[in-house]
Structure 1
Amino acid sequence: MTKEECFYLGKIVAKFSFKGEVLIKLDTDEPETYTEMESVFVEYNDNLVPFFIERSYLHKSTLLRAKFEDIDTEDDAEDMIGTDLYLPLTMLPQLPEDKFYFHEIIGFDVIDAEHGNIGKIVSINDSTAQALFEIDKNGKQILIPMNDQFIDKIDKKNSKLHVITPEGLVDLYLG
């Protein structure tokens, strides 16, 4: 299993008990979705290693308290702190047609109401206060804020994202 075949689930942030339990900060708005997992992939030295979960439940509503098989001591748990957790993309819940996961729209054509096809989405930059569509148009980069007001329609079947951008935004990049 490679990272490209997975999605980031969260990070082990602390050990919880002397029996090897850990606390996981989940990267989701719905942590209760992930309380019944049988296993996860833990990133060790750039490799994803499967770990089976003996039990898990929500701790203070936002953290997942988990006990992994064969992690039975504080020292074992200490070694896991700071590691990232992943699940296969196939385990993502289905979204309604008008919603999308970031990885789903990579490669989509972006169709602007005024300019027509302005390129393909090459990535999503979510390291800024406002997530941005990074679009490639013949080697030029176009950045469009990922704002519900700008998204007109998502056509997953035809891999197209229709947008209505503010006047002059696309011209900044293409002009």
Structure 2
Amino acid sequence: MTKEECFYLGNIVGKFSFKGEVLVKLDTDEPETYTEMESVFIEYNENLVPFFIERSSLQKSTLLRVKFEDIDTEDDAEDLVGARLYLPLTLLPNLPEDKFYFHEIIGFDVKDAEHGNIGKIVSVNDSTAQALFEIEKDGKQILIPMNDEFIQKVDKKNKTIQVTTPEGLIDLYLG
């Protein structure tokens, strides 16, 4: 299993007990969806390694308390702190037509109400305060905030997203 075949679920933020339990900060709006998992992939030495789960439960809102098989001591757990967890893309819940996962829209054409086709989405930058579509057109990069007010329609079948951007935004990049 490679990272490209998986989605990021969260990372191990700390130890919970002297019996090898850890706390996982989940990167999801619905943490309860992930309380019944049997296994996860943990990034370890740049590889994804399967770990089987003995038990798990929610601690506070987005923290998952996990006991992995064969992780039985505080030292074993300490070795995993900071590690990133992944699950196969096939386990992502289906979304309604107007919602999308970031990885799904890579390669979609973006059509602006005023400018027409403004390029293809090459990436989503979610490291900023507001996630941005990173669009490429004729070697130029266009950044559009992923704002519900701007997104008019998501057409997964035809791989297009229709947007209405604020006046002058597209001209900043193409002008």
TM, length-normalised to structure 2? 0.98
- Measure, in 1, the Cα distance between the counterparts of 2:49 and 2:154: 35
- Measure, in 2, the Cα distance between the counterparts of 1:30 and 1:109: 29
Residue correspondence of structure 1 range 9-28 to structure 2 within 5 A: 9-28=9-28
Q: Deviations over 1:54-87 (max 9, x none)?
A: 1101112321011101111111111000100000
Provide the residue aligned with 1:63 in structure 2.
63
Coordinate RMSD, CA, aligned: 0.7
Residue correspondence of structure 1 range 1-175 to structure 2 within 5 A: 1-175=1-175
Amino acid at match of 1:11: N
Q: Deviations over 1:1-23 (max 9, x none)?
A: 11111111001111111111111
- Measure, in 1, the Cα distance between the counterparts of 2:138 and 2:15: 49
Aligned residues: 175
- Measure, in 1, the Cα distance between the counterparts of 2:99 and 2:67: 33
> Offset at 1:48?
0.4
> Offset at 1:156?
0.1
Secondary structure class of the residue paired with 2:86: strand
Secondary structure class of the residue paired with 1:66: strand
> Offset at 1:168?
1.0
Amino acid at match of 2:133: F
| Structure 1 residue ranges without an equivalent (≥5) | none
Secondary structure class of the residue paired with 2:103: helix
Secondary structure class of the residue paired with 1:103: helix
- Measure, in 2, the Cα distance between the counterparts of 1:92 and 1:68: 22
Amino acid at match of 2:86: Y
| Structure 2 residue ranges without an equivalent (≥5) | none
Structure 1 residue runs of 4+, over 6 Å off? none
TM, length-normalised to structure 1? 0.98
Secondary structure class of the residue paired with 1:97: coil
Secondary structure class of the residue paired with 1:171: helix
Secondary structure class of the residue paired with 2:157: coil
> Offset at 1:167?
1.1
- Measure, in 1, the Cα distance between the counterparts of 2:145 and 2:50: 36
- Measure, in 2, the Cα distance between the counterparts of 1:122 and 1:171: 19
Secondary structure class of the residue paired with 1:95: coil
- Measure, in 1, the Cα distance between the counterparts of 2:129 and 2:2: 29
